[in-house]
Chains A and B, each alone.
Chain A
Amino acid sequence: MKITDRDYLTKDNFSAPESKRGIFTARVVANEPICKEHNRLALKVDSFPASKPGQFINILCSTSESSYPRVIEQADEGQLIMDKANVLAAPALLRRPFSLAGRRKDNQGAQSVLEIIYRIIGSGTRWLSQLGEGEQVNIIGPLGNGFRTDFLQSETLAVLIGGGTGIAPLMYLASELMLKGQRIKFFVGAASKDILPISKAILEDKQFPIIIAAEDGSAGFKGTVLQAWEDWLGRQSLSPSGIVVYTCGPEVMMREVAQRCIAMGVRCQVSLERIMACGMGICQGCAVKVRTETPPYWQYKLTCTDGPIFDADEVIWQDG
């Protein structure tokens, strides 16, 4: 399945009566490189609940086995061969969380196609990269809270600032906002153009309000996405209430965006990443320190259920 022009703007009319989460079997419809460093995985899922940009799915990146004697019955030859080939590599035990990078109808219009963008960094993502079209994966979702867009006025300019893999959830947000007719400005950045996880369709779409920053000068603005944003800000005369900023990327980048927004009095939401074991609020692993009104003026919240989207001014950033 190839992305056609403006396909990323196809409306997903899915409207679940209630936003329930669940465990689903998904089928791979595409798993291909989107740039030198990132792959795009498209998963078709029957009756996936309503989802929002900023939410994520948790993918089981190994072949599941949990019963007796079905394990043996289910093991198919292809899988056994793969397991033998990877005999020295420990399979991923925990699910791996991925922000939704998009969601749309398939050609038949009946099912949902969920998209994620990933980089091969370990056993889980390596397993994912070996999935072929038609293969099944077990996913849990949609998880997390999603970006808040309810405070956007019709004339508000939504500024999206994404760095590297962090561009993924903002892709979903950008297409949803554009569908609603919201004005957006999408800043994306990477060290070089060829590792920027952006689809060709968007790169070639002259109408798409995107500003690309490449540190090596291989495309658009030469410098970091932060510098590109600062450069743009310097040429605008915006009132703080006229823009809302959404950001996802390396934590140092988000921290700078957050601090700049707070200084300007601009509302800003950040998408945080934390190591988590479950994604469902059970393991308590993905703790984030946030400010509170009462002593001791901070508390831990969970990235998986309270986040991953937080208001910039509530986050107490980690040192370093």
Chain B
Amino acid sequence: MVDLSVDIAGMKLANPIMTASGTAGYADELADFVNLKQIGAFVTKTITLEPRAGNAYPRVIETASGLVNAVGLANIGLDAFLAEKIPILSELGLPIIVSVAGKTVEEYRAITERLDSVDAISAVELNISCPNVSEGGIQFGMDARQVAKVTAAARQACNRKVLIVKLSPNVTDITTPARAAIEAGADAISLINTLNAMVIDIEQRKPFLANRTGGLSGPAIHPVALYMVYQVCSSVAGPAGVPVIAMGGVRTARDAIEFLLAGATAVAIGTATMINPTCLIEVCDGIRDYLLEHNYKSVREIIGTLQDD
């Protein structure tokens, strides 16, 4: 038997595979397609204090090996989430990680405070990296001082849950916001969110998405994500002993194993879940096959074991 379990700041996962925010809804949408009880943890769609209708259509467009989206954090709002979705999510028997966003530092603090007292959840993930909303979101993620402010405010309100900060890749040096988040009290770091992107309709000579610009996800961004995860793990999070949750274009077990070798403790699957929900399980099975084939007893044996020449 291979031990696939990992630990993220005290949060026990049966295996290192989790959903990525915004790509698995509130879990009930996927019930007919995949047994989510078999994954390591579930990360919800980003929740805001008030419901959000989201951006105008079109919101998504495929590009070469990628998906550009500008959904705009459409969600049912915190109250409806707590009343309607928490009961369903708690049936999964998994660590539940709630992704949150706010328009102001105070909103991040307030929503974290409300979630801190909800027994059914294990962690709060601060989405400070959504590129598709006019206020908040990425504005916090692109400035290290703002990253520190938001993280510190949420930290103050977060006493019982693991606090995860999700970084934006749209920065010059990813280690700067990573360091800011860790110094401000993040228990774990997750990266990367989508890369700023756009698509132009050349016949209309107009941006394709109603929001004009969006965020790129999917296999196209995997090597970029891997590079950033490697940088954060090797120069900031690793030395600080802070676990990293890696995401960005994972589609196969090979992609996930790359993240683990680079130093990530867990790996989230996003766009690929929307194409093939069972890929969450298949990637996990593939990691097990890899470990067996290389005679490892635990997945923890390979985390951050990138070999030097």
Contacts and interface: CB of A to CB of B under 8 A. Distances in A.
Given A93-B67, A278-B275, A69 B33 contact: no
Nearest to A19: B32
Interface stretch (B95-103, B162-170, B283-291): B283-291
Contacts of B219: 93
B282 interface: yes
B252 interface: yes
B46 to A, nearest CB: 11
B142 interface: no
Contacts of A299: 53
B60 A285 contact: yes
A104 B32 CA distance: 24
Nearest to A22: B32
Contacts of B253: 66-68
A140 interface: yes
A21 B283 contact: no
B88 to A, nearest CB: 14
B139 interface: no
Nearest to A276: B60
A94 interface: yes
Contacts of B30: 280, 282
B60 A283 contact: yes
A299 B76 CA distance: 12
B193 interface: no
B69 interface: yes
Contacts of A23: 33, 276-278
For A65, A68, A94, A286, the residue with the greatest tally of chain B CB atoms inside 10 Å of its CB is: A68
A68 B257 contact: yes
B60 A70 contact: no
A182 interface: no
B251 A66 contact: yes
A300 interface: yes
Given A64-B276, A67-B283, A94 B59 contact: no
Contacts of A285: 58-60, 69, 71
A283 B275 CA distance: 10
A305 B32 CA distance: 13
Nearest to B73: A284
Interface string B59-82: 111101111010100100000000
Query: Interface majority SS on A: helix, strand, loop or mixed?
Result: loop
Interface residues of A, number: 40
Interface in B267-309: 271-279, 282-283, 285-287, 289-290, 293
A114 B23 CA distance: 28
B24 interface: yes
A64 B289 CA distance: 18
A168 interface: no
Contact of A92 (B32, B62, B285): B62
A67 B252 contact: yes
A20 B285 contact: no
B65 A90 contact: yes
Interface in A58-107: 60, 64-71, 90-95
Contacts of A125: none
B228 to A, nearest CB: 21
A67 B54 CA distance: 34
Contacts of B69: 277, 283, 285
A262 interface: no
A283 B272 contact: no
B286 A66 contact: yes
B276 A282 contact: no
Contacts of A288: 57
A287 interface: yes
A318 interface: yes
A51 to B, nearest CB: 14
Interface of B: 23-25, 29-30, 32-33, 53-54, 56-62, 64-67, 69, 71, 74, 218-219, 251-254, 257, 271-279, 282-283, 285-287, 289-290, 293
Q: For the complex of A and B, list the 8 residue pairs with the smallest distance between their C-beta atoms, beginning with the closest.
A: A285-B60, A67-B286, A68-B253, A278-B274, A68-B286, A90-B64, A66-B282, A66-B279
Given A23-B276, A138-B276, 9 more contacts: A20-B32, A22-B32, A60-B275, A66-B253, A67-B285, A275-B61, A285-B60, A288-B57, A300-B53
15 contacts: A22-B33, A23-B276, A66-B283, A67-B252, A69-B286, A93-B62, A93-B66, A93-B271, A275-B59, A277-B67, A280-B30, A282-B273, A282-B274, A284-B59, A285-B58
